[in-house]
Structure 1
Amino acid sequence: MIEHEPPKEQVLVVHEGDLRATVRMMAAARLIREHHRKARITFLTTPEYEGLVKYCPYFNAVETTLRETAKKGFIERVKLARASKFDFVYDLCASDAARKLKGAMRLSRGQWIDSAPDPKSPDHPSEQIADQLGRAGIGRTGHRLGEAPPPMLDWVDFVAKRSRTLEPAYFGLQDRYALFAPAGDEFQPAFRWPKERWASLAHALKEQGVEPVIVGGPSAREIGRYIAHVTPGARDLTGRANLVQLAGLGRKASFSFGEDVDLLHLLVAAGSSAVMFHPGAEAPHMASPRGPESVILMHAPTLAQISVAEAVQSMRVAGGFARSPEAA
């Protein structure tokens, strides 16, 4: 008599958001995968960051039709929910599209689990999500600040084995380098470290044998060009690397610097220690990037008050000079 294996558990993870929310989501995805080890996990999201999440090992499939599904009529959404046969649905975003999906899923067999952070809460989103999952039986509850498992993009190493475009050498980087993730043109001047300070920091690192590398999207091209022009030897990669490549660079960087920009969250999760510049009288603990290495928050009423010497000293405290290119 032939014994048939029971059907695999079906799990759906729903998420949409900006890059920092997507990076934070990966900590939750890791916990869900560890809890549902043998399940088939589908990630339902939007197209913006498909190029990054499609390599994430926590999902068996990535679908980018969340918004299209939400736009369908209620009856059609109910039919899709019943046909999906998901056993568990984890909502990590609580967006309008997710709420519409939730209404349809209530009429299916799937168990809907709210795991999204509350934007009005004073707690860091990472602790909020970890506690939500704990209440659903995944891990524990009562995480204090800094205790939640951080997102870790260590899986990028496996992608790098198949593509040399993720290696620093692909961009001409051979020795120690530090990544600059400056705020782009869309940020108001009050939220940007002065470009002259960035250039002076690049010069200071060059004197220490660390190559400054400016990264970011199209909005950061102007400051990237400025730093590279003023500081010979600084390398401007703004607009030249995709998110997976940037994660690869973050894995082997000696250090990263940036304002409160989404890209810094990616670099930290990839494994880079970092300094984040933030205006204000208090350290922005609830907005800080999370990852396996140290992050130092430097704040001042105006960012111009943060000196290059202070930034370099913070880098030393976090162990930036001690990290070699092969450390990851």
Structure 2
Amino acid sequence: MKRILVIRLSALGDFVLSFGPFAAIRAHHPDAQITLLTTAPFARLGRLSPWFDKVVIDRRAPWWDLRALWRLRQTLRGFDFVYDLQTSGRSSRYFRLAGSPKWCGIAKGASHPHANPARDHMHTWERQRDQLAMAGVARVPPVETGWLLAAGQPPELPRPYALLVPGAAPHRPAKRWPPGRYGTLASALLARGITPVVIGTGPEAPLAAIILNACPQAVDLTDQTDLPTVAALAAGALFAVGNDTGPMHLAAVMGCRCLVLFSHDSDPTRTAPRGPAGEEVVVLREDVLADLPSDEVLDTLERARFF
């Protein structure tokens, strides 16, 4: 039995964009034992999915930690082929630690290099498919997400409802549309008979509080949803509005119609969420998101016929 390793460490949006490539690798090696090397936040998704026989957590220990480096070396050894979908400087260093096996990625000396000189300017969706094609994996199927729906446990909600995702990476505040604007949008949606549902992690509770202060009838699910539940909520939503953040990728891959708000801090041509077959989401971009009025977001939803 061949032993295959797939490397995808982070972040959530990139992990979700790799669902199609994960499935393609599984289909290309139907009888292999396939291991996913990822970080702790995404290990459960890997174990729930139908694509991997084993999931191993990379704790990304510092390079000076020789004991951890030795343990990582033992983890990486013994594979017949490695698909490095992270393609970072760190994951490329794993090539030597792994004993220089057959390798699909950008590591120097890789047997199946992604040699497209335009790779750094490609959207993750197209870039990974181009990488796999160069390694002989020609077909990447549309993403199947029944396993996510089966694992999600969404609460009963008044329908129709729309998801609001006011959070983003805490170290990148420029990616956040002001929560007060979300509050104004929530009130406008409620007036149209659409229940606003706010989702996020525990540290984003203050953002939800501002939204609920402006629209007390909104439903606050902050810190009450795991990733499969977010996916299930998105599958039942009329649409989702949010910043450039991981849950919007989950919403898009579940087939939910999405309006994603981008600032100067990220580039939608390279990182915007995609649907299960690569469908593009609706994007609004403003260099400084504080300059984006709620009316413009509402108008965009109406023009795109989200309701």
In structure 2, which of residues 49, 58, 70 is the aligned counterpart of residue 56 of structure 1? 49
Instruction: Give me the whole-angstrom Cα distance separating, in 1, the residues matched to 2:198 and 2:226.
Output: 14
Letter matched to residue 159 of structure 1:
A
Letter matched to residue 158 of structure 1:
A
Indicate the residue corresponding to 1:231 in structure 2: 215
Letter matched to residue 103 of structure 2:
W
Alpha-carbon distance, 1:285 to partner: 1.9
SS across alignment from 1:121: helix
Cα distance per residue 1:261-302 (max 9 Å; x no partner)? 222122212221111112249973222111235511111233
Cα distance per residue 1:159-181 (max 9 Å; x no partner)? 34xxxxx23xx2x3131111111
In structure 2, which of residues 265, 289, 292 is the aligned counterpart of residue 306 of structure 1? 292
Indicate the residue corresponding to 1:214 in structure 2: 198
SS across alignment from 2:10: coil
Indicate the residue corresponding to 1:274 in structure 2: 258
Q: Which structure 2 residue ranges, 5 or more long, are not aligned?
A: 108-113
Cα distance per residue 1:183-214 (max 9 Å; x no partner)? 35836664432333211110111112111011
* Corresponding residue pairs, total: 295
Alpha-carbon distance, 1:13 to partner: 0.8
Give every structure 1 segment of 4 or more consecutive aligned residues whose post-TM-superposition deviation is greater than 4 Å: 68-82, 115-120, 148-152, 187-190, 280-283
Q: Is the 8 A contact 2:273 2:280 kept in 1?
A: no
TM-score (norm 2): 0.82
Alpha-carbon distance, 1:51 to partner: 2.6
Q: Is the 8 A contact 1:202 1:227 kept in 2?
A: yes
Q: Which structure 1 residue ranges, 5 or more long, are not aligned?
A: 1-7, 141-147, 161-165, 322-328
Indicate the residue corresponding to 2:244 in structure 1: 260
Q: Is the 8 A contact 2:105 2:131 kept in 1?
A: yes
SS across alignment from 2:240: strand
Matched, 1:113 2:104: yes
Between the aligned residues of both structures, percent identity stands at 30
Alpha-carbon distance, 1:29 to partner: 0.5
Letter matched to residue 148 of structure 2:
V
Instruction: Give me the whole-angstrom Cα distance separating, in 1, the residues matched to 2:28 and 2:301.
Output: 37
Indicate the residue corresponding to 2:110 in structure 1: none
Cα distance per residue 1:110-138 (max 9 Å; x no partner)? 42221798998121122111101000001
Q: What is the CA RMSD across the aligned residues, in angstroms?
A: 3.3
Instruction: Give me the whole-angstrom Cα distance separating, in 2, the residues matched to 1:277 and 1:181.
Output: 10
When structure 1 is superposed on structure 2, of 124-133 and 15-24 the one drifting more is 15-24
Per the alignment, do residues 188 and 106 of structure 1 end up closer, same or farther by CA in structure 2, a change over 3 Å counting? Answer: closer
Q: Is the 8 A contact 2:174 2:265 kept in 1?
A: no
SS across alignment from 1:155: helix
TM-score (norm 1): 0.78
